[in-house]
Amino acid sequence: MIIFVVKIKGIMKTLLRHVTIIDTDSSYHGQTQDILIEDGNIKQISSEITCQDADEVLENCYISQGWTDSSVSFGEPGYEERETLAHGVKVACESGFTQVMLNPNTHPITESRSQVGFLKRATQGAITEIFPIGALTTESKGEYLAELYDMQSAGAVAFGDYKRYIPQANLLKIALQYTAPFSGIVISFPCDRSIMGKGVVNEHIASTRLGLKGIPALAEEIIVERDLSILEYAGGRLHIPTISTEKSVALIAAAKAKGLDVSCSVAVSNLHLTDEVLGNFNTDYKLLPPLRDTRHVEALRKGVESGVIDMVTSDHCPLDIECKAKEFDLAEFGSIGLEATLGIMLRHFSVEKTVEMLTAAKKRFSLPVSPIAVGQKADITLFTDKGERVFDKDSIKSSSKNCAFVSETVKGKVLGVISPRGHWFSR
């Protein structure tokens, strides 16, 4: 199956005029320049370029290396009613992402060379490139390691069981040791289900007031502490996704100070929203990790600013209405977020920090990197930080509409992407 994403046909030359370059890998970082792109390659960068035959001219905006999201879910295969691959990569493209790491929570779960190969082939015509995350264990049951080396050979960039922690500590040790020789990265979701129990929201004043079962911060922190201890013993490379508590930030900071090979991410929802929004029992706010209280949110923002937190993810998780139109206790966890990520990030961070957080996954997961420099392939996101608007239901591009950011004020706008696989510009 070949996915076709609408591109601007016939473009041979693109001229970017008076664009401010945000790219610490480039000697032009922080400068405002003109850039000429021909056949997908950067041909010229100068203070002024004259090109009378440019097919497309864009001007007066920011550009950076194309953004990468380290945790994205679509539906296909198995849950096409939530989001097909074809539509999912189109949403990612129009949200400014030229690369997304695709979680293995499909049906069947992505756990073999052939399944990784299918995802790569199925999206080879898309402007946004997908990089599959292979399941760490067979059927993500946490019992036996999946075909890790074979999946990496087929294009998997990391291994983890989406939203499931590794119950057997020894299995994590073995996974780190096994993947070390081929530089594989193990993803370990930090939530002890035995402590979480039937919890559905942050264990705090709000959960008591609403009569909802709580998920204590301890459920996350005890796994972070365990996994870092195992990493220190076994070696290898570890990524801890979507942390949500103050202590998790401190534990990871201490591990990095020891020189451990660990990275972490935070979901944009946990940087912006608190559990105070739960008053109306809107299941779009039922997330895992749960929305925490202000103390944790402020600690996460400081973790981003200090560099302890390596990257920000949308943690995009489309779910059909049957999964969400239920009592809060029975609804599934998850929200879409690709479309709102830039607008929320610019509410809290500078343009430079926003770009850093949205591109950091490239190097950590050994994805293609194309600095903004003459001779390089164009892998670029164009955006502005000007303007504010309310993110409403009409702003949702995804097939599923479970979005925690509806009615939130967002800042800026994605104007387009230019990738080695094609172009898309906002009209």
Q: What is the pLDDT of residues 197-210, one digit of tens each?
A: 999 999 999 999 99
Higher pLDDT: 10 or 86? It is 86
CATH 3.90.1170.40 is right for the domain spanning 66-365: no
The sign of the torsion formed by the CA atoms of 292, 295, 297, 300 equals negative
Comparing C-alpha atoms, which of 118, 139, 108, 297 is closest to residue 206? 297
Task: Give me the pLDDT at residue 317, please.
Answer: 98
- Rounding to the nearest 10 degrees, give the CA dihedral for residues 156, 157, 161, 162: -110
CA 34 to each of CA 14, 28, 98, 379: distance values in angstroms, whole numbers, following the listed order: 11, 11, 22, 16
What tens digit of pLDDT does each residue of 120-142 get?
999 998 999 999 999 999 999 99
- Mean pLDDT value of segment 277-285: 95
Higher pLDDT, 258 or 11: 258
The predicted pLDDT at position 9 comes to 46
pTM (whole model) above 0.75 = yes
Q: How many residues does the chain have?
A: 427
pLDDT band at 55 (very low <50, low <70, confident <90, very high): confident
Point out the least confidently predicted range of 10-19, 23-32, 318-327, 385-394: 10-19
Could you give the C-alpha distances from 131 to 97, 145, 199, 337, in angstroms and in order? 12, 20, 32, 18
How far is residue 216's CA from residue 201's CA, in Å, rounded to a whole number? Answer: 9
Per DSSP bridges, beta strands 41-46 and 262-267 are unpaired
Q: How far, in Å, are 114, 152, 368 from residue 149 at the CA level?
A: 13, 5, 20
Cα–Cα distance measured from residue 414 to residue 384, given in angstroms and rounded to the nearest whole number: 7
Look at strands 422-425 and 409-419 and give their pairing.
Answer: antiparallel
Catalytic residues: 315
Region 66-77 average pLDDT: 98
pLDDT of residue 175: 98
Residues 6+ apart with CB under 8 A from 352: 22
- Contact criterion met (CB below 8 Å) for 64 and 70: no
Q: What CATH class is the domain 13-63+375-389+409-425?
A: mainly beta
Tracing tokens 């850093």 back to the chain, one arrives at: 356
Question: Which pLDDT does position 54 carry in this prediction?
Answer: 83
Residue 238 to residue 235: CA distance in whole angstroms: 9
Structure tokens given for 18? 């008076």
237 pLDDT band, cuts 50/70/90, is very high
C-alpha to C-alpha distances, 101 to 17, 65, 176, 349, nearest whole angstrom: 31, 16, 20, 23
Task: Judge whether residue 102 has pLDDT over 50.
Answer: yes
Other CB atoms within a 10 A radius of the CB of residue 51 amount to 16
Neighbours of 57 (CB within 10 A): 11
Other beta carbons less than 10 A from residue 409's beta carbon: 12
> Where along the chain do its domains lie?
13-63+375-389+409-425, 66-365
Please state, rounded to an integer, the average pLDDT across all residues of the chain.
Answer: 95
